[in-house]
Structure 1
């Protein structure tokens, strides 16, 4: 198996990695840009992502004493080859494409790309979309990050030949309790936790801005409450580290840092140093209300280290980019949700972003290798499956409920939309045995490019100026044989076709199960699919229409094919904006 990991989400330095059946874990490392000097990981990003995908079992692992236990990647028996295509100053498009070509030439099976552009970019100008088209043509599964531009900005890596991954939470918290003087307990989290024996009550001091100018005020011996107003992404500390250090140097007993409003219930842990607790805006407002109600407000901090079984989980992380795609809104993106919030994984001994051997990082960079590892497991079980079939297996078996059996929620604890989580939360066990798959050939992807971008688009993305759309069927977005179904929402019926391939038992019968809102009419024909052999294909049609005007709001539902052993689920999104 192969994976490639690069990273313009932060400052542009990155690696690519490949997994093979070899005698050692890391079987090779290459670099493209001569200014990189070597293939080493000087930021930790490549180490973190690759160990998430394919790290060996390591006992007594922890990051800063948190999350102690046995660590392992999703595919611990897989092997890696790393391709460094970026430097600290950024990534050259030519290096990205060349690195992808090199990985394909080396015979990789899965490419893991934890990177994305800083701005919205057309497929014909995107080195990832261009470089990976050839990879998918050679049967390589390409898994890519959805980007950290959420919850309102554009999604990255939205080409349909990519498996695009959103980031969610896990059922674990590095809990720190702020015990108020009135007895109320406020749960937050802290990256650095110390023993509780010396934790005493201290007066509270509230100031809206976490600025080092606070050091000139009387904050000595007090717990300072202030707001994180910086950008919400994975580009490092949103608050200037020197501001935090200045406040603590002035003798503050600690800092309670309140998350920004649009972070909701997402707490993206950062290493601000000791005695800094991060809390949600809702909990932070409770602390402020108490502090302003009495002149003798006080609190103490109690460290809980690691708490498991947190609910609700998973939830969509606030920073995770949302669909629809700007350039191809008729294909649902992101494709899938996977763990990407406060993930513990391997880290080099010393970097500018922290020290190892383990570290805590967040981002769709972290969720991507989880799915890359799953793709490796599916590939090892089904080496003859196409990249599209493996992608379909992961999407149609995804979980759509959280650990308590309720719907998966977003960062505001509202029901997550398909534009936030795609088909649902990845389930590695179910993905091995999906029952049916929606397959796609490179010719069909080419037909999609022809319908969307014409001859010039095909020549650019396929990197072959002699190619023409004349001999190819033009395939509109909605008609692409994609595991998710996205259609325009109209009063007149709109019909699309899908074809499924039996990869389950020889004799299988699947019946239709629909879940759609009352304002949407969906008709499927036929309503039963009967298979008599493995590899047999069946085509069905889906006709969608609305009862009444719904404004600009997309309607969502699902279509499932159900047999005695399998449930093959596809989300349906009907948008009036298409």
Structure 2
């Protein structure tokens, strides 16, 4: 959410954080109660334990195709006793169907035993079924950091996104928050069909609110949905302040856009059947873009209900923006990898909630904290560290009045450690970041003690100081609180928690797509939801981290592009965002990862989103549903094609077959073969700039830092356009030499770029040559 500075460079709003960690076992760090969700069914002694399944079926006969009631009756007919010959002895109950889907897929969610599922699967029209999963939820400064300025530039050109409807699948919304006030907003477009479920009150800003979880309340008891909604499209709010740190004006990325909230998650998590129901409703209501800040571990696309329903939304012209996941920095940890989705990674902004640890020898280390007390900085305190691993669980020495140094094994310091230091009489606490988080510091509001979080590298130096001399030696320190500092360099930097590629489901399509601000992002918060643990208080704004926060930033940019180019396909919008992204930070160097090494495509995507350039990309790489269908055929086969597209009559013979590397994607990933082996991929660009334009190819050949070298040839080397929307095709041939490639002794990844340069535009595509892509079980780029 945007924060425009009102006075000095340090005047910035700072608030608290709740960090969402995507894990293999889905959990929500926002959970306030541990109640297990009931799915409304008991067990059956004859058929085994019942659970909720998402069941995909063929649509009913055409004469009832547009009748919601006919669809419901058709879905009920699959249940035992429902008139379909399922063989069950019980009468089918309509209440057993949790959701009936007609917008993005044809199917339903119902609670079934294994025996009942077997009976359903024998019915004519059955396609496939999935046991549903529970998925985890995956600013005042960021729009300014991204170059958005009131009354000029992108915001003015795009009318702040006015007339575009942004739909969010999330935890609900605080409809009364000032970020969602309706005064001065125009009504939604006439095509809008959504409404608000009472007691939520719609206005011209919040034009839709519906719940698909038990209880049917659209309010936000978690805070996540309010935060993401305001980040995407919150209105300008003056005088935002919290925690006594700073003040400023806040807004979302598309403050003029309309919002519709589809509550599919609560404190117990996000269940796939509810997520699918929310997507189904959003498409039928008429949203222009969907923002999904949740996800689970990778699945094949034909077994992933979110990927399948996103395909349905895309085929209707709706852009789907999704969080890439919070399981970094490990590779192969992405969520939401389907190429028809826009997958977002998380990075930092140029702001620090500065809390500097100053040692008795004068050396200082910049940390961060939302728990600041400037009175604390006026004196020095004894510094205590156990000279060994110290997780601050308990103390067998006197630490009264001391600044205590604690180790952590988690991205956020455990509240139990803070409480232990406080109970032992400590005056303050310094937490040392876990080692694999590098320079990423995730902050949260804590209560009770002044504190600072420092990097593992700085922590080692602090520990070294504390270890000098005998255990009884005098070591002093203090924490200097500097409120908020902006203009921090380098920024952006990839956040450590941001999930990394390659895609497990489709390694031949480079993912993630783009990076956006996702570390320590300030945005709206429901005042009824306490901030932080250990004495949580009420605030209207909060600081939160995750790819959940990065996603709505990109969603807002999509809304701005949609306003200016309403006829562009989702693929064109994605291409515009990717090919105009920035590859450098605010210091003019290549964007770095959490270890301050050059970030690879598998962590940063094409680059960092740049709204000013994205609205005018010059050329775009377009893809339609038919192109994706051919890709699905090559990747997964005909049965999967029918399951994902929802077309029971679809055949691969009719749609064709396109290998991953040949998909007309804005980023180029080619299999890296043995020395001397050429791999050629083709791409087609569409001219969306001036009618008459000439583009020349500029290649930065992929380099791997190993003995492998690559050469890249682009044919033709020049593209000449004579009219708008004209299309041109070119070929990129990559050849490896040296010791890498298939059979060359190890995994080699080489990265470079292709830039099409005209007088007005630079259209940049990353090129990745990967020796692990396109093994024997996959068709190579040359086979397509």
TM-score normalised by structure 2 residue count: 0.70
Task: Name the structure 2 match of 1:3.
Answer: none
- Select which of 218, 222, 228 maps to 2:408: 228
Q: What residue number does 2:133 align with?
A: none
Where does 1:100-499 land on structure 2 (aligned, <5 Å)? 100-117=279-296, 119-153=297-331, 154-196=333-375, 199-207=378-386, 208-214=389-395, 216-230=396-410, 232=411, 238-273=412-447, 274-294=449-469, 295-351=473-529, 353-354=531-532, 355-490=538-673, 491=675, 492-499=677-684
| CA drift at 1:67 | 4.9
Q: Once the 2 structures are TM-superposed, how far is the Cα of residue 310 of structure 1 from its aligned partner?
A: 0.7
Mapped to 1, the partners of 2:593 and 2:376 lie a distance apart of 37
2:377/2:480 contact within 8 Å kept: no
Tell me how far 1:189 sits from its aligned partner. 0.6
Contact kept, 8 Å, 2:376 with 2:479, in 1: the verdict is: no
CA distance in 1 between partners of 2:254 and 2:172 (Å): 17
Separation in 2, partners of 1:221, 1:143: 49
Distance 2:338 2:21 in 1: 18
Q: 2:718 maps to what in 1?
A: 528
Change (3 A) 1:88 1:465: farther
- 1:73–1:414 CA distance, 2 compared to 1 (3 A): same
Q: Distance in 2 between matches of 1:471 and 1:198?
A: 72
CA distance in 2, matches of 1:229, 1:8: 14
Q: Which residue of 2 aligns with 1:504?
A: 689
Q: Cα RMSD between the aligned structures?
A: 1.8
In 1, Cα distance between equivalents of 2:501 and 2:724: 35
**SS of equivalent to 2:637:** helix
Compute the displacement of 1:8 (Å). 8.6
3-state SS of paired residue (2:370): coil
C-alpha distance in 2 between matches for 1:575 and 1:63: 47
Q: Which moved more, 1:496-505 or 1:204-213?
A: 204-213
Q: Measure how far apart 1:127 and its partner are.
A: 2.0
> Secondary structure in 2 aligned to 1:196?
helix
Alpha-carbon separation, structure 1, partners of 2:244 and 2:521:
14
User: How many angstroms does 1:245 deviate by?
Assistant: 1.2
8 Å contact kept, 1:8–1:91: no
Q: Is the 8 A contact 2:357 2:479 kept in 1?
A: yes
Secondary structure of residue in 2 paired with 1:457: helix
Cα offset for 1:200? 2.0
Looking at structure 2, the residues matched to 272 and 121 of structure 1 have their Cα atoms a distance apart, in angstroms, of: 37
Aligned partner of 2:261 in structure 1 is: 82
> Which deviates more, 124-133 or 74-83?
124-133
Cα offset for 1:352?
5.1
Alignment equivalent of 2:731, drawn from 541, 545, 567 = 541
Distance 1:161 1:198, change over 3 A: closer
Give the whole-Å Cα distance in 2 for the aligned partners of 1:373 and 1:65.
29
Moved more, 79-88 or 13-22: 13-22
Q: Which runs of 5+ in 2 are unaligned?
A: 1-19, 29-135, 138-169, 181-185, 189-202, 533-537, 704-708, 741-745, 774-784
**Alpha-carbon distance, 1:125 to partner:** 2.2
Alignment of 1:68-79 (within 5 A): 68-79=247-258
* Contact 2:516–2:608, Cα closer than 8 Å, also in 1: yes
Partner Cα distance (1:79, 1:391) in 2? 21
Could you list the per-position Cα deviations for residues 473-496 of structure 1 after superposition, in whole angstroms to 9, with x for gaps in the alignment?
Answer: 111100100000000011310111
Question: Helix, strand or coil: the match of 2:375?
Answer: coil
Contact 1:8 1:116 in 2 (8 A): no
| SS of the residue 2:560 aligns to | helix
Q: Which runs of 5+ in 1 are unaligned?
A: 1-6, 233-237
Q: CA deviation at 1:209?
A: 2.9
- Mean CA deviation greater in 122-131 or 526-535: 122-131
Structure 1 residue 90 displacement after superposition: 2.5
Bigger Cα displacement from structure 2, 239-248 vs 438-447: 239-248
User: Retained in 1: the 8 A contact 2:702–2:753?
Assistant: no
Name the CA distance, whole Å, in 2 between partners of 1:292 and 1:220: 19
Confirm whether residue 562 of structure 1 aligns to residue 764 of structure 2.
Answer: no
Deviates more, 1:317-326 or 1:23-32: 23-32
Q: Contact (CA 8 Å) 2:492, 2:591: kept in 1 or not?
A: yes
- CA offsets 1:85-136 (integer angstroms, 9 cap, x no match): 123222222211111011000000010110110x332212222111111000
8 A contact 1:558–1:571 mirrored in 2: yes
Partner of 1:575: 770
Deviations 1:347-369 (Å, cap 9, x if unpaired)? 00032554321101100000010
Of residues 292-301 and 476-485 in structure 1, the stretch that sits farther from structure 2 once superposed is 292-301
Other structure's SS at 1:360 match: strand
- 1:8-44 deviations in Å (ceiling 9; x for gaps): 94524634799996362211110112x2441111110
Shift of residue 340 of structure 1? Answer: 0.4
In structure 2, how many angstroms separate the alpha carbons of the residues matched to 1:197 and 1:318?
30
Asked if the contact 1:8–1:90 (Cα under 8 Å) also holds between the matched residues in 2, the reply is no
Displacement, 1:244? 1.4
**Aligned equivalents of 2:493 and 2:275: distance in 1?**
32
Q: Which has the larger radius of gyration?
A: 2
Alignment partners' CA distance in 2, 1:8 and 1:140: 28
How far 1:327 moved relative to its partner?
Answer: 1.4
* SS in structure 1 of the partner of residue 256 of structure 2: coil
* CA apart distance, 1:548: 1.5
Q: Which moves more between the two structures, 220-229 or 198-207?
A: 198-207
Contact 1:96-1:131 at 8 Å conserved across structures: no
Deviation at 1:406, TM superposition (A): 0.6
What SS class does the counterpart of residue 212 from structure 1 fall into? coil
Task: Tell me the equivalent position of 1:4.
Answer: none
